[in-house]
């Protein structure tokens, strides 16, 4: 009897140790509500690849079959016949001048004041397959490709590629972000590179899964977040912290990251979305409101509502309780 009771106590202690060492996701609040947008509403395609709000609050949506815009009431579409270089738009970037940039497998389109300009290898791009665009404080445009990086400045393209231990850690560049200090960050399939204008720095993880980088996000504190095959990692200037399924993330493969106005971090994955408020993880999927689990992009509107682009399901908007009207 004593022996059995002892075994019971040991099992209780082990359970408590496991529970204390692992953060358990909480259920979403029922106060928030969901709105979905699909081709039935005016979206050009339910295969949504990228979301971005412009300075006027218009949502620009990159899809498999063109670009849609939504101003809260009206939908518009931009196709190849309108000037778009190719119909598959996997990244939409809007710079400080409200110029729109569209990354495609056949080059980049630029839309400014209703005028389209297209760029390809014929103009100087290192590769037509462009994964992402970012524009720095000096209005230089940077393009991520599978063959390195192109910089566009003063109507001239410059190519940046891996050169031994300097420059890019790898030429397969999937994402770009520019922080508040005008540092350029390049996410590759084999690590992260930083360029401060003069010097290059390489960041590598002890786990190879964390070096395959899908996306980079700069938060309000100028911290660098990366979405990888191994979870979401954040760099505070000196060290990295990784969040994965072991501590509450809904899935490790992170394709989208965003921060809302309350400082919550949002992570889009192949199997749903996780919200992290600094201590608690909250997970969302089709079972509790998300239109589709495969989330490709996240955008936050001026009212702090969260928009999710999905593969096959269109768009989900999470409307916070304070924004709901009776």
CATH number of the domain where residue 292 is located: 2.130.10.10
Of 41, 43, 61, whose CA–CA distance to 52 is shortest? 61
Q: Which residues, at least 6 apart from 91, have a Cβ–Cβ distance to it below 8 Å?
A: 49, 50, 62, 101, 102, 103, 130, 131, 132, 133
In a domain, 10, yes or no: no
Please state the φ and ψ torsions of residue 210, each to the nearest 5 degrees: -80, -5
Kindly report the number of other CB atoms within 10 A of residue 19's CB atom. 10
Which residue range(s) make up the domain with 246? 31-323
Contact 293, 274 (CB under 8 A): no
Query: For the chain, which ranges sit under pLDDT 50?
Result: 1-22, 326
Rounded-to-10 torsion of CA 89, 284, 287, 44: -20
- Please give the Cα distance from 245 to 284 (Å, whole number): 14
Contact 105, 86 (CB under 8 A): yes
Q: Which residues, at least 6 apart from 242, have a Cβ–Cβ distance to it below 8 Å?
A: 205, 210, 230, 231, 232, 233
In a domain, 308, yes or no: yes
Give Cα 191 to chain centroid, integer Å: 17
Q: Look at the alpha carbons of 277, 280, 286, 292 in this order and tell me if their dihedral is positive or negative.
A: positive
Tell me which H or E stretch contains 109: strand 107-112
Contact 63, 69 (CB under 8 A): no
Q: Provide the β-strand partners of residue 37.
A: 315
Three-state SS at 287: helix
The count of residues in the chain is 326
Contact 185, 205 (CB under 8 A): no
- Please give the Cα distance from 98 to 60 (Å, whole number): 12
Q: First and final CA of the chain: distance in angstroms?
A: 62
In a domain, 273, yes or no: yes
pLDDT at 11: 40
In a domain, 76, yes or no: yes
Number of domains the chain is built from: 1
Of 283, 299, 293, 157, whose CA–CA distance to 215 is shortest? 299
In a domain, 58, yes or no: yes
In a domain, 16, yes or no: no
- Please give the Cα distance from 19 to 37 (Å, whole number): 39
Of 128, 93, 136, whose CA–CA distance to 111 is shortest? 93
In a domain, 9, yes or no: no
pTM of the model: 0.90
- Please give the Cα distance from 263 to 251 (Å, whole number): 21
Contact 269, 236 (CB under 8 A): no
Of 30, 33, 69, 24, whose CA–CA distance to 48 is shortest? 69
Rounded-to-10 torsion of CA 169, 237, 297, 187: 0
In a domain, 98, yes or no: yes
Kindly report the number of other CB atoms within 10 A of residue 308's CB atom. 29
pLDDT at 320: 80
pLDDT at 23: 55
pLDDT at 321: 73
């Amino acid at each position: 009897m004593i022996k059995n009771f002892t075994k019971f106590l040991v099992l209780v202690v082990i359970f408590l140790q496991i529970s204390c060492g692992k953060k358990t996701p909480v259920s979403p609040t029922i106060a928030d509500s969901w709105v979905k947008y699909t081709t039935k509403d005016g979206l050009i395609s339910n295969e949504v690849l990228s979301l971005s709000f412009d300075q006027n609050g218009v949502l620009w949506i990159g899809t498999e079959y063109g670009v849609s815009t939504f101003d809260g009431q009206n939908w518009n579409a931009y196709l190849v016949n309108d000037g778009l270089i190719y119909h598959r738009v996997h990244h939409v970037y809007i710079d400080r001048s409200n110029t729109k940039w569209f990354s495609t497998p056949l080059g980049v389109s630029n839309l400014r004041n209703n005028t389209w300009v297209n760029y390809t290898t014929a103009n100087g791009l290192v590769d037509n397959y462009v994964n992402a665009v970012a524009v720095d404080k000096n209005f230089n445009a940077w393009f991520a490709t599978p063959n390195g990086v192109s910089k566009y400045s003063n109507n001239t393209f410059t190519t940046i590629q891996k050169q031994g231990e300097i420059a890019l850690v790898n030429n397969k560049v999937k994402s770009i972000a520019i922080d508040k200090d005008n540092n350029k960050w390049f996410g590759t399939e084999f690590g992260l590179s930083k360029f401060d204008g003069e010097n290059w720095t390489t960041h590598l993880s002890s786990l190879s899964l964390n070096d395959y980088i899908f996306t980079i996000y700069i938060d309000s504190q100028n911290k660098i977040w990366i979405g990888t095959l191994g979870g979401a990692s954040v760099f505070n200037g000196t060290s990295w912290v990784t969040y994965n399924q072991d501590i509450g993330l809904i899935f490790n493969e992170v394709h989208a990251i965003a921060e809302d106005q309350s400082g919550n971090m949002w992570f889009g994955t192949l199997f749903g979305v996780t919200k992290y408020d600094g201590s608690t993880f909250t997970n969302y999927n089709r079972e509790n409101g998300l239109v589709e689990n495969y989330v490709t992009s996240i955008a936050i509107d001026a009212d702090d509502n969260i928009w999710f682009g999905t593969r096959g399901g269109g768009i989900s908007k999470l409307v916070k309780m304070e924004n709901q009207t009776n």
